[in-house]
Copies of this chain bind each other. A is one copy, B any other.
Amino acid sequence: MKVAIQGERGSFSEQAAHKLLAAEINLVCCASFEDLFTVVKNGKAQAGVVPIENTLAGSIHRNYDLLLESGLEITAETNLRIEHCLIGTRGARLEDIRTVLSHPVALDQCRRFFKRHRHIIARQTYDTAGAVQNVLRDGDPRVAAIAGLAAAKFFHGKVLAKNIEDNQENFTRFFALEKPHARRIKKRDSAGGRKRKTSLVFSTKNVPGALFRCLSVFALRDINLSKIESRPQHGRPWEYLFYVDLLAGVEEERTCNALRHLEEITEFLKILGCYLTV
C-alpha cells in the first residue's frame, strides 16, 4: 500500500501513517502539501496522511483549503502526542551545539530550551525529520536538529535531550485521505463501539444571524460540535467558509435531518468525510 506524506521518513507524519493505516506501508515522500494532494488525486498513492491541527499552533489552514479543492475524502483521524528531542551526530555533546535546525513550528514550541541555551542559534528548515537527515549527512558535531524520537532512530542520530517542548499538552491531529468512491483501505483497530465523526464545510447566505441559524440545526437535534473553523472565500472579501466537525455519523437519523435542514439555509454544503478516531 502506497501512502503519501509531506516531509521525510522518520517524521511525525510517518508515525501517524502507521497508526492510521498499517505497520507495513510504502511511503511516498512529498516536498509540499500541494504535491501530496496531487499524488493521491492522481492515484500514485492510495492514501495521504496530513496534519490538520496542533493543540498549540492551531489549524494548518492551507490543508483545509487543499482538502476542499482536492475533493478527497477523510477516512480516519488520529491524535499524536508531539515530543521534541534534540538530535545530533554520533559524536555530538549538548555543550558543543551552536546551531539547531528544525521546522519553524517545532522551533517555536521549544522557546524555553533556546532561552536556557542563549548561545544556540535556531535555523528554519521545511521539515523536522529532514533537519535530522541534514545534520547526520553533514556530520558537524556542533549542529543538531529538533525532531521526534522516530527520526533519531531512522537516521541513527544521537539523542542529546528529550522532551524539550515548552508545553506537554502538545498533540497534532492527522487525517487519512482517500479518493471518494474508491475501495476503502481497512483502517487499523479502533476502540470498539465508539461513534464516528463527520466533517463538513458550508457557506452561509449573507444575511444577519446566518451562522447562528446554521448551528441551530445541530443544537436542536442534540448533535455536538467538536470544532468550528472559518476560512476566507476567494473573490468574496469578508465572506467565509465554515468547517465544522460533528460528534455524530452520517448514518444517524438526526444527522440526516440536520443536514437536510442545513441545506435549506446554506449557499454551499459539502460533506468532507465520516470517520473513526484510531
Q: Which residues of A contact B (CB under 8 A)?
A: 53-58, 61, 167, 169, 171, 208-209, 211-213, 215-216, 218-219, 222, 224-232, 234-238, 240
Contacts and interface: CB of A to CB of B under 8 A. Distances in A.
SS class, residues of chain A in contact with chain B = mixed
Nearest to A57: B232
Contacts of A229: 230
Nearest to A173: B238
Contacts of A231: 58
B226 A219 contact: no
Contact of A216 (B54, B57, B212, B240): B212
B237 A211 contact: no
A34 to B, nearest CB: 11
A37 to B, nearest CB: 16
B55 A169 contact: no
Given A208-B222, A212-B218, A224-B209, A237 B169 contact: yes
25 contacts: A53-B232, A54-B232, A55-B232, A55-B238, A56-B232, A57-B232, A58-B61, A58-B232, A167-B235, A169-B237, A171-B237, A209-B224, A211-B215, A211-B225, A212-B212, A212-B218, A212-B219, A213-B219, A215-B215, A226-B238, A227-B230, A227-B238, A227-B240, A229-B230, A230-B230
Contacts of A225: 211
A232 B230 CA distance: 13
Contacts of A240: 227
Contact of A211 (B61, B167, B228): B228
Contacts of A56: 232, 234
A169 B234 CA distance: 8
A227 B208 CA distance: 12
A225 B234 CA distance: 20
A63 to B, nearest CB: 12
Contacts of A212: 212, 215-216, 218-219
A237 B224 CA distance: 17
A212 B228 CA distance: 11
Contacts of A226: 238
A230 B227 CA distance: 9
A240 B230 CA distance: 13
A213 B220 CA distance: 11
The 8 closest A-B pairs by CB, nearest first: A55-B237, A212-B219, A209-B219, A208-B224, A212-B215, A169-B235, A58-B232, A169-B237
Contacts of A232: 53-58
B169 A236 contact: yes
